[in-house]
Amino acid sequence: MDFQDVCFGYTSVETVHNISFKVQKGDFIAVVGPNGGGKTTLIKLALGLVHPQRGRVRLLGKPPQETRKKVGYVPQLFMFDQTFPVQVKDVVRMGRIDRLKWGFYRKTDDMEVDRALLEAEATELKNRSFSELSGGERQRVLLAQALVSRPEILMLDEPTANVDASVEKRLYDLFKKLNEKVTVFLVSHNLNVVTKHANRVLCVNKTAAIHSTRDLSKSHAGFLSANDMTVFTHSDTCPVSDATELLKSDHNAQMEHYRK
Amino acid sequence: MTDFFHDLFQYTFLQNAFLAAILASIPCGIIGSFIVVRRSTYIAGAISHSLLGGMGIAYYLHIAHDLKAITPLHGAIAAAVGAAIIIGTVSSSGKHRTDTVLSAVWSIGMALGIVFIMATPGYGQDLMSYLFGNILMVSRNDLLLMVILNGIIVINIVLFYPKLLAVSFHRELAELRGIRVRIYEMLFLILSALTIVLLVHVVGIVMSIALLTLPAASAGYLFNRLSLMMIAATVFCMLFTAGGLILSYAPEWPTGPTIIIVCGVFYLAAITLSKLMLKFFKRA
C-alpha cells in the first residue's frame, strides 16, 4: 500500500492532509490517532471508496478500485438489519461473491468457507443465525468473510470496538497468527495491545510528522514499549511532543472508556 | 366448497383463475421476501399505484383510438418498469429525497390513470377491477403473459440470487467485493415491478402490497434463511390465493379482498406462533 501526498476532505475542510506512507508485505501496521483524526478515512482511501483530492493512492501497485478484491476488510461498525434472515455460512460466502458470474456457489466455495471459519476460530458458528451472535462472535464471522477470498492484505477498522477485554485479547492473538500469512493493517484505540502485536504504528491526525518510535518512546515510555516501531504521520509540521500528546489523549480516552 | 371443486372442472374461467393464483404466487413469494427483508414496501407501493397510469393510457388507446394491439396489461408492464427505472435512478443518484420521489410516482401514476379511464368513452367500469382485481376475468392470453413474466423473474433469481442477497444484506461489503450494486438494485426494482403486474389481476393495484408482503413476512417469522423464507412464502401465497378463491366463491364475496383477509389472519397467527415458540424455547 502506497500513499503519496494524499489530501482528502468530505467538505471543504480536509480530513487528511498531505499524507505519505508505505506498507510492506508482511507488515502488521497499527493505525492510531484521536477520533476524527482521519483513521477510517485512510482505510476508505486505501479501498478506493473515496478518492484523494490531491496525491496518489496505490494498492498492490495499482489504483485501489482494481485491486481491492485482494483485500479482506472488516468494517468499524457493521450496521445491518437485525431481522435479516441470514446464516453465518451465507455471510462468509459473500466474501467470494466476486468469483461468481451467475448461478449458485460451487463446492469449492463451501470448502473455502469451512477453511476461513476454521482460521477465524468460528467453525461452530457456521449454521447459526447471524443476528443471534454476540459482538465477539460476529467479529470472528466478519473476519472469516474477509479471509474467505484468500486476501493479500487484511484491513481491520477498530475490530474490537464492541467486545470485552477477554474477547479482544483472543481477537488480537488471532490477528497476530494471521499475520504469518497476510499483511495486517489495523485501526485501533488500544495502544497497549497494539504495541504488543504491531511491528509498525501509523499515527494519524490532521497534522503530524514521521517519527521513529524510539523518539516517541523516550517521551512516552509508559504507553509505548516496542523498540523497533516507526511512527508515520502526515505533514512535517507536528513536533514529536504533539505526536505523543496525541497518543496520550487517545490512551486517556481508552482508559475512560474502560472505567465507564 | 364442494360447489367450487365441482365448477372448477366445468368452467374455464375458474380454471384460469386457479392457474392465475398459482402463477402469481411464485414470484410473489420470491420477490415479496426480498421486499420484506429490504424494507422496500413503500417502493412496491409506489410502483403498484403507478401502474394505473399505464393501464389507463393503454385502455384509452385501446377503446378511443381502436388500437387493439395495446391492452391495459401492456400499459401496466410499461408503467411498472418505467416507475422502477425512475425510482432506481433517483435513489442511486442521492440528489433527491427518495420518499418525495416515491410519493410523486405513486400519486401521479394514479392521477393519470383516473384521468385517462374517465376520458375513455363508455362507463369506465374497468376502474374497479384494476384497483381491486378480478381474478375470475383472467383470460388465456393473460395466463400466457403471466407464464412469460414468471419465467423472466424466476430465471433472473436463479442466475443472480447470491448477488441480490449480498447487495440486500450489506451494500458496502458487496461493493467492496466488486459487485455493481446499482445494476443489481435496478434489477431488483424491475423484477418487483413485473411481479406487481402479475398481481394486478389477482388482488388489484391497491392490495398488491399486502399480497407481496404478508405471506413473506409470515414466513420470515418462521425461518432464518432467505432461501427458506422464499420457498415458504411461495407455498403460503399459493395457499392464501387458492384459499381466498375457494372461500369467496359460494357466498360471492369479492375474491381479491377475501385473499387479503386470509393473508392478514395468517400473518397474525404467525406473529402469535413465533412469540409462543420464543417463550417455549426460553423456558426450555
Give yes or no for a contact between A152 and A216, defined as CB atoms under 8 angstroms apart.
no
List the single residue in A47, A80, A85 with the smallest CB-CB distance to B176.
A47
Predicted confidence at residue A35, as pLDDT, reads: 79
Alpha-carbon distances of B34 from A129, B14, B28, B31, rounded to whole Å: 18, 31, 10, 5
Decide if B162 touches A, using CB distance below 8 A.
yes
Q: Does domain B2-278 have CATH number 3.30.1330.90?
A: no
Contacts of A70 (CB under 8 A, 6+ apart): A59, A60, A149, A151, A152, A153
CB contact under 8 A, A78 and B178: no
Chain A residues near residue B233 by CB distance under 8 angstroms: none
What is the distance between the alpha carbons of residues A85 and B265, in angstroms, rounded to a whole number? Answer: 23
CB contact under 8 A, A98 and B162: no
What is the distance between the alpha carbons of residues B234 and B22, in angstroms, rounded to a whole number? Answer: 9
Å between A165 CA and nearest CA of chain B: 27
Give all strands (DSSP E) within A75-167, no chain letters: 153-157
The whole model's pTM is what?
Answer: 0.84
CB contact under 8 A, A94 and B173: yes
The candidate with the shortest Cα–Cα distance to A122, out of A86, A96, A157, A148, is A148
Task: Pick the residue from chain A with its C-alpha nearest to B216.
Answer: A85
How many Cβ contacts (< 8 angstroms) between chains A and B?
A: 76
**Matching CATH number, A2-14+26-79+152-259, of 3.20.20.70, 3.40.50.300, 2.60.40.1120, 3.40.50.150:** 3.40.50.300
What are the domain boundaries of chain A? 2-14+26-79+152-259
What is the distance between the alpha carbons of residues B54 and B114, in angstroms, rounded to a whole number? Answer: 10
Residue B24 has pLDDT above 90, yes or no: yes
Residue B173 has pLDDT above 90, yes or no: no
Query: Is residue A84 classed exposed, middle or buried when 0-12, 13-18 and 19+ CB atoms within 10 A define those classes?
Result: buried
Q: What is the ipTM of this complex?
A: 0.84
pLDDT tens for B125-169 read 667 788 888 888 888 988 998 999 999 999 999 999 999 999 999
Give yes or no for a contact between A177 and A118, defined as CB atoms under 8 angstroms apart.
no
Chain A residues near residue B232 by CB distance under 8 angstroms: none
pLDDT tens for B30-53 read 999 999 999 999 999 999 999 999
Angle, helix B255-283 to helix B181-222, in steps of 10 degrees:
70
CB contact under 8 A, A149 and B37: no
The position carrying cell 409462543 is: B276
What is the distance between the alpha carbons of residues A201 and A219, in angstroms, rounded to a whole number? Answer: 16
CB contact under 8 A, A98 and B179: yes
Q: How confident is the prediction for chain A on average, in pLDDT?
A: 79
List the single residue in B39, B179, B225 with the smallest CB-CB distance to A87.
B225
Q: Alpha carbon B159 to chain centroid distance?
A: 21
Query: Which residues on adjacent β-strands are paired with residue A129?
Result: A87
3-state per-residue secondary structure call for A152-221 = CEEEEECCCCCCCHHHHHHHHHHHHHHCCCCEEEEECCCHHHHHHHCCEEEECCCCCCCEEHHHHHHHCC
Strand order in the sheet with A16-22: A16-22, A2-8, A54-58
Chain A residues near residue B175 by CB distance under 8 angstroms: 49
The position carrying cell 385502455 is: B59
Task: Pick the residue from chain B with its C-alpha nearest to A96.
Answer: B177
Give yes or no for a contact between B151 and B195, defined as CB atoms under 8 angstroms apart.
no
Predicted confidence at residue B124, as pLDDT, reads: 63
Q: Residues in chain A whose beta carbon is closer than 8 A to a beta carbon of chain B?
A: 47, 49, 68-69, 71, 73, 75, 78, 80-81, 83-87, 90-91, 93-95, 97-98, 100, 102-105, 129, 145, 149
> Residue A239: how many CB atoms within 10 A of its CB?
12
Rounded average pLDDT over A102-122: 93
What is the distance between the alpha carbons of residues A155 and A166, in angstroms, rounded to a whole number? Answer: 22
